[in-house]
A and B are shown apart, each in its own frame.
Chain A
Amino acid sequence: MASVRAREHRCVTAISAIELTKRFGDLVAVDGLSFDVAAGTVTGFLGPNGAGKTTTLRMLLGLAEPTGGRALVFGRPFAELERPATRVGAVLEAGDLHPGRSGRDHLRVLAAAARLPRSRVDEVLALVDLTTAGNRRVAGYSLGMRQRLSLAAALLGEPELLLLDEPGNGLDPEGVRWLRDFMRAFASASGTVFVSSHHLAEIEDTVDHVVVIDHGRLVADAPLAQFTAGAHSLEDAFLDLTTGRVS
């Protein structure tokens, strides 16, 4: 019942950044950034290295405190969500895994905190194809396996919204295709994906909408078709914007 009611009342806006600002001393990492992510879309979050993508994601997830402005998820600061694992899943760039713990135990630890049944651990392990490797310690995992394990952790609570920070890093071409299909399937099951990437070509086939930032500021927020209109590809449009060239 509770979940039915939650879905009925779901905001059409999954993510809102409102005049979001983050300063580290003199460095302005994110500078008055405002954008919305509509529920049910796959939105690409693009920008060169150091543009402030990861900092923005960390503020959206309540891991970093904004210096100014607001970072909202489903209309609320992340920390005010009830059982956030059932609404939002996230994969951050670093991997964030203890090398001495097995993949399965990593998920069991998180499932216990989220009050999810043990069976979910086996389900998400199977989903990312780590059922056998799950009993091994993470120290022996490849980068791609760590990414898949992190994705499994994000999916534990069957969230409506996924935030992915460079999820393609370390994946082989097969893994990249798997990830692309996964994101599309997730969105067509009325989920929302907000995915940062510098692999522009890999994003192009996947996203409906793009948010582009540079030096912490918004430079584009548009449907993919509109964004790439007049340019040969997403990459051209992106480079035109972020290098200051006028096409």
Chain B
Amino acid sequence: MTAQLRSELLKLRTTRTMALLMLGAAALTLFAICVEGISPATGKLAQEQTQRELLSAVTSGVLFATFAGLLAVTSEFRYGTIRPTLLIEPRRRVVLMAKLAAAALAGIVIGAVSVAVAFGGGSAVLAVRGVDFAVNGPHSLELGLGAVAVAALSAVIGAAVGALIRNQSGAILALVIYAFVVDAVLFAAIPSLGRFLPGKAGDALLGRPVDHLLAPGAGAIVLALWALAFVVATTLRISRSDV
């Protein structure tokens, strides 16, 4: 398992994909910070509530983390590298677990990049606007650690979905449709159901001040259950199918 994990981490470090996703996460986070930091009036921006909304740019990394997991798995099927991988380690569950662990670590790194850019960029924007940083320690910690946890779990879900769908374009399309259509539409139409979706559970975990969301603890549990469900489904499939 450790040898396979080392191999999976080396895979992530030896193509440009991870670097591009980290760059993308950093850029989107910075963009969100700039937009949210420039528009509010100075008085409003001094309020803790507004600043917490500003710092919720930490979630910008989540989609990139999901893509990191998704691409780590689907690229193996796209380029056929899954075959040499399985010739060296034929126990498919060992390969899958190593991949999921590597995806989680990739998610943590991307999440941490977003958190660093959000807090660094946020502080800079507030300083430029001449406003003091008003988010207290516990809330900052909740946002920072929460964003990293959501990114890690999302990367695991991305990897599991990638292993289920296998086709790279199909998996990317499915993720985009989910993230930009299903998640938003279902939550808007039937919030009592939509709040149990992984995206909304992640928002809840971060303690975002949006109506109808679950409590942060419940959000964390629901998101972890989603990750577990996808991992179990993938484990059942990968041990049987031909590659």
Chain A residues within 8 Å of B, Cβ to Cβ? 58, 61-65, 78-79, 81, 84-85, 88-90, 92, 94-102, 105-106, 108-110, 112-115, 150, 153, 157
Contact = CB atoms under 8 A, between A and B. Distances in A.
Contacts of B84: 96, 110, 150, 153
Q: Which 7 A-B pairs have the closest CB atoms?
A: A96-B80, A113-B7, A105-B14, A79-B90, A64-B242, A112-B7, A100-B15
Residue among A58, A89, A95, A113 with most chain B CB within 10 A: A113
Interface in B59-80: 75, 79-80
B35 to A, nearest CB: 32
Contacts of B85: 110, 113
A92 B83 contact: yes
Contacts, number: 82
A105 B86 CA distance: 17
A109 B80 contact: no
Nearest to B242: A64
Contacts of B90: 62, 78-79, 81, 84
B118 to A, nearest CB: 29
A108 B8 CA distance: 11
A105 B81 CA distance: 13
Residue among B4, B6, B89 with most chain A CB within 10 A: B89
B44 interface: no
Given A85-B87, A109-B14, A112-B10, A58 B242 contact: yes
A114 B88 CA distance: 6
Contact of B79 (A99, A108, A153): A99
Nearest to B15: A100
Given A64-B242, A113-B4, A115-B3, A84 B88 contact: yes
12 contacts: A61-B87, A63-B242, A63-B243, A79-B90, A84-B90, A96-B84, A97-B81, A101-B15, A113-B3, A113-B4, A114-B3, A150-B84
Interface string B212-243: 00000000000000000000000000001111
Given A113-B4, A115-B3, A85 B79 contact: no
Contacts of B3: 112-115
Given A85-B87, A96-B84, 19 more contacts: A58-B242, A65-B240, A79-B91, A81-B90, A84-B88, A84-B90, A92-B80, A92-B83, A96-B82, A101-B14, A109-B10, A110-B7, A110-B85, A113-B4, A113-B6, A113-B88, A114-B3, A114-B88, A153-B84
A61 B97 CA distance: 21
Given A58-B242, A92-B83, A112-B7, A102 B14 contact: yes
B79 A96 contact: yes
A94 B87 CA distance: 15
Nearest to A64: B242
Interface string B35-51: 00000000000000000
A101 B85 CA distance: 15
Interface residues of B, number: 28
Contacts of B15: 98, 100-101
Contacts of A63: 83, 86-87, 242-243
A127 B79 CA distance: 25
B192 interface: no
B140 interface: no
A37 B91 CA distance: 25
A95 B80 contact: yes
B27 to A, nearest CB: 21
Interface in B1-48: 3-4, 6-7, 10-11, 14-17
Contacts of B79: 96-99
Contacts of A58: 242
Nearest to B240: A65
A100 B17 contact: yes
A90 B87 contact: yes
Nearest to A95: B80
Nearest to B94: A113
Nearest to B92: A79
Contacts of A89: 87
A88 B86 CA distance: 12
Contacts of A84: 87-88, 90
Interface in B165-188: none
Contacts of A78: 90
Nearest to B76: A98
B240 A105 contact: no
Contacts of A153: 84
